[in-house]
Amino acid sequence: MPRRRYSLTTRLVLSIAAVFAIGGGAVSYAAFAYGQRAAQASFDQLLIGAARQISRSVTPSNGILVTDLPVSAFELLSLAPEDRIVYGVFDSDRGFVTGYPDVVPSEGDTTFETREIEGEPFRIAQVVRPFAERDYGGSAVVLVGQTLRARQKMAAEITRNAMIAAGSFGILLSVLAALAVRAAFAPLRKIERQIQGRSAKDLNPLDLDVPREVESLVAALDRFILRLRRQIDVMQGFIADASHQIRTPIAALRAQADLAAEETDPAALRRIAERISTRSVNLSRLTDQLLTHALIIHRADAFDLAALDLRQVAVQVAEEFDHDQLADASHLELDLPEDAVPCQGDMLSLVEACKNLVANALRHGEPPITLRVGMEGGRPFIAVRDLGDGIPEADWAGAAKRYSRSSGVSPESAGLGLAIVASVARAHRGRLLFARPDGGGFEVRMEFQGGA
């Protein structure tokens, strides 16, 4: 099932849009709440101002209250030009003095309240003015109320203006964000352009000045390019080797075949056929080795080192010889320690390398052949030992080179085998060693980094 892939731009746009949506919602709500509160506060001031003015116009006269309603109070109220007004003046016993008799004072000590009057909500302010006159000792309660149109209009206006400001700011931010995203992606486009502009053969590292965040990407790309180049080098080398090594035996085979075509003597013909057979077997072995080598050098750059026990490698090698090798596999002995020999490595490569060593020993050495595993100086090793003379000391330095002259390209050559083993050892950051053990014979050993 194909995964849905979003471009980075889409992701960024989506997350920025989400941030803006949440922010916008919050701002809208805040603007709305603020607008409501501001409008409420402003017009409440108006109401209380008018109520105070009216309360100032109340005077006790002969024991009752008389109001000389001030025009200015109503002019103040008509600052909310569309709103209906109610007012009422009451004495301390809540007796009606003037105004709207139905707008009675509330029981509590409230200053502001909202009441429904004739189907329309009114905001009502209540002010108490105490008197201490000779003929009147109570107080006057003044109520002034207005409908809410001006408040709602003002609240809506504040909210709208805030929203317009926030919206413009949001648009500006979006533009800036878009520019920022473009700028942030610029290094990626630079890399893309560089890679696209390269010739197919250019496997040099990228030469780019990029921000820190992208540096690791460029480094990874560079590593990748390097590995690619190494592998291509290896492949090219291998193809050169292989063609060189296979061409000669095939030419020899053809020569033998040509001879056979012209030979009439049955005895000579049989000899030629035997030679052809031997050469074919050797060619087949050579091909095997080349392919194994190809597999391993291909893996060497590709495999991941995993923790393993070298004893397992040895056991596996022995088993595989049991299965498909010759009867003289019985000459193979295992010398394994009690404890695990931990090592970082690739099982398949190690097994193939050891098989190579064992095969060489079987072919050229003297039995018994021992497959040894152990630790020496903190370094794990795996070694093959036999009682033969092995490779002369003079050739040790060049023995691990691919098709070295000394080992030649004879059908029985071990040259390629050791080259494989050496490259496996290198891929494990180890090395290939030769030794003459105390008890005589010859030992080839792969030694690895310790501390795994």
**Footprint of other proteins on this chain (CB under 8 A)?**
61-64, 66-71, 74-75, 77-78, 81-85, 97-99, 117-120
Q: Which pair of structure tokens corresponds to residue 317?
A: 């090698």
Gap between the Cα atoms of 71 and 79, Å rounded: 13
Q: Are 137 and 131 in contact (CB under 8 A)?
A: yes
Nearest distance from C-beta of residue 55 to other proteins, angstroms: 14
Nearest distance from C-beta of residue 82 to other proteins, angstroms: 5
Nearest distance from C-beta of residue 32 to other proteins, angstroms: 25
Which SS3 state, helix, strand or coil, does residue 2 take? coil
Nearest distance from C-beta of residue 110 to other proteins, angstroms: 24
Nearer to other proteins, 63 or 440 (CB): 63
Distance of CA 435 to the CA centre of its chain: 48
Nearer to other proteins, 66 or 397 (CB): 66
Nearer to other proteins, 83 or 386 (CB): 83
Gap between the Cα atoms of 126 and 103, Å rounded: 11
Nearer to other proteins, 59 or 410 (CB): 59
Strand partners, 382: 373, 446
User: Distances from the Cα of 256 to the Cαs of 221, 261, 267, 275, in angstroms?
Assistant: 52, 9, 15, 8
Nearer to other proteins, 90 or 434 (CB): 90
Residue type, 293: H
Nearer to other proteins, 48 or 290 (CB): 48
* Of 293, 347, 282, nearest in space to 319 by CA: 347
Nearer to other proteins, 87 or 381 (CB): 87
Nearest distance from C-beta of residue 115 to other proteins, angstroms: 14
Nearest distance from C-beta of residue 119 to other proteins, angstroms: 7
Which residues contact residue 1 at a Cβ distance below 8 angstroms, ignoring those fewer than 6 apart? none
Nearer to other proteins, 117 or 225 (CB): 117
Nearest distance from C-beta of residue 128 to other proteins, angstroms: 19
Gap between the Cα atoms of 442 and 395, Å rounded: 13
Nearer to other proteins, 101 or 408 (CB): 101
Question: CA 157, 159, 162: angle at the middle one, nearest 5?
Answer: 105
- How many beta carbons lie within 10 A of that of residue 312, not counting itself? 17
Q: What is the DSSP string of 43-93?
A: HHHHHHHHHHHHHHTEEEETTEEEE---HHHHHHHTTSTT--EEEEEE-TT
For β-strands 112-117 and 120-130, DSSP reports them as antiparallel
Nearest distance from C-beta of residue 86 to other proteins, angstroms: 8
Length of the chain counted residue by residue: 452
- How many beta carbons lie within 10 A of that of residue 327, not counting itself? 6
- What values do phi and psi take at 341, rounded to 5? -115, 95
